[in-house]
A and B are shown apart, each in its own frame.
Chain A
């Protein structure tokens, strides 16, 4: 056997070795994840029922539920989405398509990269002094939603820029050649083509926000709340002044979210509440998986429509 064959054979073995290593690591990671989900399901599935979803927190584990947490999580996500998406997409478009490369944009870019890595509790501290005290928003859904919006803003900006960058340069050049203004290029070509990528980034960012606890506890999210925020245009009780609730009064309501409810239950004495925490965990995982699945569907549909 010549030496060259020996070298080739050695390289082949190396190749196979790496494949085996990679595959087994993947399997290990998946097994751990699977075990976690299974364990959660084993503890929590028994508690999962309609009444668990529709009841308020209680000192009695069997009667406690996550109604206020589900609704709170939903409302907070609405505020977060409505703030982070326009701001993040606009910032991404500006940085990618409009801004010139100078020290100013360099500073902004470094800051965005850094912000993406800041621990979430720091956002909570900042939001406490800015939103809760300085702006006087109190411990409201609005303050909570804005806090999480700040938290995911860097992710949305980065996703937007990536999506814009993946559009071939000749699309822009063709549009300019036809006399389009920069706004027209953005409005009629770049944004439509990048919607899939942006939406994917946004949804993944939202599924991160839905699991956050620390910044919301810092700004004063509640743990016990046995009522729901006022539904727009629902009747207000007579002793509170009567009439109808305004369209945005829910923004000012106190709230709790799913991970806070879980955290509270896990740390309580005794095992009875552990099943509740696991059941809430299942709901949270389903919500997150649902969001991620939505992201995949959106991306695939958008991809199919675009041909260049």
Chain B
């Protein structure tokens, strides 16, 4: 009888023992580790993962890199408390988050690292919608369209008089925020009667299986499924050059507007300056971002932009170029040329 409950007693004792012994011992252990802690947007994750993988290979595991996916907002919450060294962000830092960082004495570098191009996609056999204007997209997606704009013919005359089936990302996603901001003019302002999913693969399958479907998704999901979907060229009335397809050339030259958006890395200044391995990682990131981004189907920045980002680190210019307000359709060179504010 004794032995049979022995394990319960052992469990209780050892639970107590480790509870007591471990907590005081931990801070010292953390300080010694060569660890780069990264968290934030799941959109930026594939790029950072690729860089982290290559970086760990190149240091033969002497520096450890961890990447989480708490989302841009969740990542900033930790970053602005000084809990992480680097934050992945699919939008610039907001005024509230800036205030939190100031409060905790966190200074940061804002570095654009690649583009995402939001792609408007239709079924492979869709013969009519080869291009759309931003105005037409707005008419289709704004809240007032709900229940009213339901036929293709209502978007443009001459298009089929057939019901249009809409697909879009869930309302928690950064893609949703950026698309509504760029097209409707106000973030999160959208019609609600579309098939939404947080999993972009569901959108791909939806559009693929629906001849009269239309949806928008991050470029990488279109690029992986080019044989199943067709991209719609986007014609922005505010520039002169006519409809543009989302592809490497157009995006890198800054012609795919307003639906291409830069993705950012925010780097804690103290980490960058006091932990040599964080500096090593960030420098490695800027040197390899173009190639690795392309490999995971994101779109690299022009080479000049990486040069400007390096300058920013060298000259110690901390802060954001946006002042806490998100903008659409700004070129990366312009973002990097601005004087950032903390």
- Please report A residues at the B interface, Cβ cutoff 8 Å: 57-59, 81-83, 85-86, 89-90, 138-139, 142, 187-188, 191-192, 195, 217, 220-227, 236-237, 239-241, 246-249, 251-252, 254, 264, 266-271
Given contacts A195-B4, A221-B68, contact A86 B11 (CB under 8 A): yes
Given the complex, which residues of A lie within 8 Å of B201, measured CB to CB?
266-269
Given the complex, which residues of B lie within 8 Å of A222, measured CB to CB?
66-68
Across the interface, do B70 and A224 meet the contact criterion of CB distance under 8 Å? no
Which residues of B in the span 80-103 have a Cβ within 8 Å of any Cβ on A?
83
Given the complex, which residues of A lie within 8 Å of B83, measured CB to CB?
138
Across the interface, do B5 and A187 meet the contact criterion of CB distance under 8 Å? yes
Nearest CB in chain B: distance from A134 CB, A = 13
Across the interface, do B221 and A269 meet the contact criterion of CB distance under 8 Å? yes
Asked if B132 is at the interface of the complex by the 8 Å CB criterion, the answer is no
Beta-carbon nearest neighbor of B222 in chain A: A269
Beta-carbon nearest neighbor of A85 in chain B: B11
Asked if B312 is at the interface of the complex by the 8 Å CB criterion, the answer is no
Given contacts A224-B65, A226-B53, A267-B200, contact A192 B1 (CB under 8 A): yes
Which one, B5, B18, B33, B65, contacts A191 given CB within 8 A? B5
Across the interface, do B32 and A82 meet the contact criterion of CB distance under 8 Å? no
Across the interface, do B26 and A252 meet the contact criterion of CB distance under 8 Å? yes
- Please report B residues at the A interface, Cβ cutoff 8 Å: 1, 4-5, 8, 11-12, 14-15, 18, 21-22, 25-26, 29-30, 32-34, 37, 39, 42, 45-46, 48-50, 52-53, 56, 61-62, 64-70, 78, 83, 198-201, 218, 220-221, 223-225, 292, 295-297
Given the complex, which residues of B lie within 8 Å of A188, measured CB to CB?
1
Across the interface, do B22 and A248 meet the contact criterion of CB distance under 8 Å? yes
Nearest CB in chain A: distance from B81 CB, A = 9
Across the interface, do B67 and A59 meet the contact criterion of CB distance under 8 Å? no
Which one, A59, A82, A85, A251, contacts B46 given CB within 8 A? A59
Given the complex, which residues of A lie within 8 Å of B25, measured CB to CB?
246, 248-249
Which one, B5, B39, B48, B199, contacts A192 given CB within 8 A? B5
Across the interface, do A252 and B68 meet the contact criterion of CB distance under 8 Å? no
With the chains together, A98 CA to B34 CA distance in Å? 51
With the chains together, A264 CA to B45 CA distance in Å? 10
With the chains together, A86 CA to B32 CA distance in Å? 33
Across the interface, do B66 and A270 meet the contact criterion of CB distance under 8 Å? no
Given the complex, which residues of B lie within 8 Å of A224, measured CB to CB?
45, 48-49, 52-53, 65-67
Across the interface, do B34 and A82 meet the contact criterion of CB distance under 8 Å? no
With the chains together, A222 CA to B292 CA distance in Å? 21
Q: Which of B26, B39, B46, B66 has most chain A Cβ within 10 Å?
A: B66
Across the interface, do A267 and B14 meet the contact criterion of CB distance under 8 Å? no
Across the interface, do A248 and B18 meet the contact criterion of CB distance under 8 Å? yes
Across the interface, do B22 and A252 meet the contact criterion of CB distance under 8 Å? yes
24 of the cross-chain contacts (CB-CB < 8 Å) are: A59-B53, A83-B15, A90-B12, A139-B68, A187-B5, A195-B5, A217-B70, A220-B70, A222-B67, A222-B68, A226-B56, A226-B61, A227-B61, A227-B64, A239-B34, A240-B33, A247-B21, A249-B26, A254-B66, A264-B45, A266-B201, A268-B201, A269-B224, A270-B225
Nearest CB in chain B: distance from A98 CB, A = 17
Given the complex, which residues of B lie within 8 Å of A221, measured CB to CB?
68
Tally inter-chain residue pairs, CB-CB below 8 A: 122
Given the complex, which residues of A lie within 8 Å of B224, measured CB to CB?
269-271
Across the interface, do B53 and A252 meet the contact criterion of CB distance under 8 Å? no
With the chains together, A85 CA to B45 CA distance in Å? 37
- A-B pairs with lowest CB-CB distance, top 7: A270-B224, A224-B67, A86-B12, A269-B224, A248-B22, A59-B50, A269-B221
Beta-carbon nearest neighbor of A246 in chain B: B25
Which one, B4, B5, B46, B52, contacts A268 given CB within 8 A? B46
Across the interface, do A269 and B297 meet the contact criterion of CB distance under 8 Å? yes
Across the interface, do B18 and A251 meet the contact criterion of CB distance under 8 Å? yes
Given the complex, which residues of B lie within 8 Å of A223, measured CB to CB?
45, 49, 67-69
Given the complex, which residues of A lie within 8 Å of B52, measured CB to CB?
224, 226
Given the complex, which residues of B lie within 8 Å of A249, measured CB to CB?
22, 25-26, 29
Across the interface, do B49 and A57 meet the contact criterion of CB distance under 8 Å? yes
Q: Which of B5, B46, B221 has most chain A Cβ within 10 Å?
A: B5
Nearest CB in chain B: distance from A299 CB, A = 14
Given the complex, which residues of B lie within 8 Å of A252, measured CB to CB?
22, 26, 29-30
Given the complex, which residues of B lie within 8 Å of A90, measured CB to CB?
12
Across the interface, do A220 and B12 meet the contact criterion of CB distance under 8 Å? no
Nearest CB in chain A: distance from B196 CB, A = 15
Given the complex, which residues of A lie within 8 Å of B42, measured CB to CB?
267
With the chains together, A269 CA to B119 CA distance in Å? 14
Beta-carbon nearest neighbor of A270 in chain B: B224
Given the complex, which residues of B lie within 8 Å of A270, measured CB to CB?
224-225
With the chains together, A224 CA to B34 CA distance in Å? 16
With the chains together, A267 CA to B65 CA distance in Å? 22
With the chains together, A224 CA to B42 CA distance in Å? 11
Beta-carbon nearest neighbor of A230 in chain B: B29
- New A-B contacts (11) at CB < 8 Å, excluding given A59-B296, A254-B37: A59-B46, A187-B5, A191-B5, A192-B5, A222-B68, A223-B49, A224-B53, A224-B66, A236-B32, A251-B22, A254-B66
Across the interface, do A59 and B49 meet the contact criterion of CB distance under 8 Å? yes
Across the interface, do A220 and B8 meet the contact criterion of CB distance under 8 Å? no
Given the complex, which residues of B lie within 8 Å of A191, measured CB to CB?
5, 8
Across the interface, do B15 and A226 meet the contact criterion of CB distance under 8 Å? no
Nearest CB in chain B: distance from A225 CB, A = 5
Beta-carbon nearest neighbor of A68 in chain B: B66
Across the interface, do B29 and A82 meet the contact criterion of CB distance under 8 Å? no
With the chains together, A86 CA to B5 CA distance in Å? 12
Nearest CB in chain A: distance from B164 CB, A = 24
Given the complex, which residues of A lie within 8 Å of B14, measured CB to CB?
82
Given the complex, which residues of B lie within 8 Å of A192, measured CB to CB?
1, 4-5
Given the complex, which residues of A lie within 8 Å of B48, measured CB to CB?
224
Beta-carbon nearest neighbor of B68 in chain A: A222
